[in-house]
Structure 1
């Protein structure tokens, strides 16, 4: 054993013997000397390196933790304050020693794990809770097997009262440590992902994280938003983001949905190459559980002026973000996922209401487009047209459903300029082209409308069709290409 090893153990033994000699009191002088001893150990990197690889050293350290945990509980007293501070300092010493590498982590586990959980179950002090989390982060940092075992115990051992106390007491710094710990636990394990999001602790944590995300996002220097983004990205990567939506609850659940949708939309929109496992399951969930059951009824009430302006602004933003996510996700899955859910009719119904309630605006007739009201849902119509285009692509059943639910006239009516739905005319013409392709029934229907001059004059021409009369009947045919 080197001189450094001997010196480190001497300091630990001195500290331990002093505490065993008089563990019932922590006078000012004893408190000061104990803090000094702990600081000496924490500040010497070489000593920490040696201590981390010593079974005897870890036995001493864990014994010290037990003494501080079982010390006198005298709320508000100086002795109690000193005890808590020393307990916290000893935990920080453990955390620092564990950073030397896997050898220290293997030696300390599982005795240190057991004692940290004992402290978590008893502690009501935020600094101690945060320090416990730091120890758990470092205890499994280099060994996936240890990390998984600790994480499983973490979400199963702590009951609802304890995990509630942990989450509710943390400040922003504490949340950073907790999210880092969770990311380490779930990052490489879909089983841990599932276990966390379905546990009481996971549900409570996610609800608090998401409710705080907006504030974290306003501070561009705050790392917690990036950590939440990484957490949500993990659930996207494992194809179980729908479970995060399911875990959200409370009176402000709509606001939480909006935050989560914005994160998903940002990921889908900003990354050039995105892998979305189980995208069909996610887009079906967003459509059925959020669009049909929640957002569409709210949007209809908003467009028909049944809600106050401030609320309508939130609903409009939520609706647009949700539709953006659905549209982007359809690029990763078969359109039959939603066609089989009868989504065509739901989207056509909303487009009809939007067409009826929200007038078109153009720069020629409306000089102040910035005065567009929230209930006018900027971009709603063009988003619905885009989603319908994806649903009818190479899907004859979807094309027929558009006609059967009375959608052809309202789609044709979008073949006009509308500056609060930029490029809607072009998108609508492409949708018309898709609806007419290889579908004689839709062609006949549109031909009849054109005969009544119910179709914008250039829409069919730009879609590549023209009308002709054959045997006294009007029909559509493909335009001959221009030379």
Structure 2
């Protein structure tokens, strides 16, 4: 068996030497045949990988020379068919011989600079226009992944190098732009393997400038992959992208990443909103909460910032200033409407859902373990919702059986073309739900809602609104929690006498002679 192995090494070295001595001319088919045959054998036998990588004559110098030849190919172009064939065969051989063998990975790591140069060529805009180049790109990424996977030292060296490359040579960012979903999937497998169980590498991804640029590119890619059909490579790539961010959330890096995605002068950046969507999905699927302590201050700050911004924008829309009094009210609203308000409200919904989920997880945990940290308390000071709910009720008409119900006090709202579903949907419902969760068996928060005049606001939410499914049910639950074991709040509700009634179309009508409170 040893002599057979020796002859296999000799054959590999001889075919490589013959190919390189002829500068690749007229010998591509013979080289690729030998490499493909050996690669098939290596894929089937771990013992063969170990023996071929360790016995003489050594194959590693010949492999290095092959990659150097590919990196400096005389007519290097992704459109050269013979170059693509060579890359596929050499990369496949490399991928298979290093798989799961640490010594082989160490010996093969020297080809990384040449392999990176090949990937730079195949991650260019012109290469992405050629579907024939995709298999070569994909195989090269898989070879790179197998060289470092499960090898901590090599993974750290690769990760540190790739996250500090200059922008024009940032290979991870370039590859994330590939239109080939299989290439994206292979790349994300590499990236997930790199950050798995490594606080240092996760930190570099979330805190460094290069890491932030990679995350921004990946978030853009996740948006495009979201609608991929189930079980396709695109859907699998999305799942791996999600797993990558889940690893960051597990490690407590959500605040650092959110901060690194900020844009100066903007209340919320689009990539921050996408990150909140992933964070919301992560929390909704989570059944544990110790790591979520790290997210609470961040979410409180986000809620406070977005809530303050939204209130200010709505006030300007409801009460436009410095406008001619004879202008049509809808035009006034259009002139004063902050075009970033829908985006702010969309992010506010996501932040609210995250806070609600963490609060519920915290309460469940304390039910089982009274000594567990009470996470709801962290949100109480930031999550004042009564004024925002009051403004939203005046700003956005309820949708009742397909018809907008105008605010009876102003008999006007923002134009329907502006107040569409995007951005504003579910906002009132989730804010009411948040009140119900935070005031559950918490007299301090119950009293705070009463003192700031929030009880009538919650009572006014006990209505049907197609823009906010289950708004009425959540408002009723919130009201129940506000009144639970709180006599002052009960007296407040009892003192509120109905001054109107709901007609058949869902419009509130004043009762004759009623005293408005």
TM-score norm. by structure 2 comes to 0.71
Equivalent position SS for 2:290: coil
Q: 1:313 to 1:18 in 2, by over 3 A?
A: same
More helix as a share of residues: 1
Partner of 1:358: 396
1:168 aligned to which of 174, 178, 191: 174
Q: Deviations over 1:15-74 (max 9, x none)?
A: 23324645xx322x1333323332332244568852542324693244332354167564
Are the equivalent residues in 2 in contact too, given 1:68–1:86 (CA < 8 A)? no
Q: 1:228 to 1:80 in 2, by over 3 A?
A: closer
Partner of 2:515: none
1:111 aligned to which of 107, 112, 136: 107
Q: Give the number of aligned pairs.
A: 436
Partner of 1:461: none
TM-score norm. by structure 1 comes to 0.76
Partner of 1:264: 279
Are the equivalent residues in 1 in contact too, given 2:19–2:28 (CA < 8 A)? no
Are the equivalent residues in 1 in contact too, given 2:250–2:291 (CA < 8 A)? no
Q: CA deviation at 1:381?
A: 1.8
Are the equivalent residues in 1 in contact too, given 2:276–2:350 (CA < 8 A)? yes
Q: 1:13 to 1:50 in 2, by over 3 A?
A: same
Equivalent position SS for 2:27: helix
- Structure 1 CA distance, aligned partners of 2:77 and 2:383? 68
Q: CA deviation at 1:225?
A: 1.0
Structure 1 position 321 matched with structure 2 position 350: yes
Give the alignment of 1:271-310 within 5 angstroms: 271=285, 274-289=287-302, 291-294=303-306, 297-298=309-310, 301=313, 304=317, 305=333
Equivalent position SS for 1:38: helix
Equivalent position SS for 1:124: helix
User: 5+ residue gaps in structure 2?
Assistant: 123-133, 318-332, 363-374, 406-415, 503-517
User: 5+ residue gaps in structure 1?
Assistant: 458-483
Partner of 2:368: none
Partner of 2:370: none
- Structure 1 CA distance, aligned partners of 2:309 and 2:452? 19
Q: Deviations over 1:378-436 (max 9, x none)?
A: 43222111101111223333223223333233123223444443443343233233323
Q: 1:274 to 1:299 in 2, by over 3 A?
A: farther
Q: CA deviation at 1:212?
A: 1.3
Q: CA deviation at 1:336?
A: 0.4
Q: 1:419 to 1:32 in 2, by over 3 A?
A: closer
Q: CA deviation at 1:217?
A: 1.5
Equivalent position SS for 1:284: helix
- Structure 2 CA distance, aligned partners of 1:336 and 1:440? 22
Are the equivalent residues in 1 in contact too, given 2:306–2:344 (CA < 8 A)? no
Q: CA deviation at 1:151?
A: 2.1
Partner of 2:190: 181
Are the equivalent residues in 2 in contact too, given 1:286–1:326 (CA < 8 A)? yes
Q: 1:140 to 1:157 in 2, by over 3 A?
A: closer
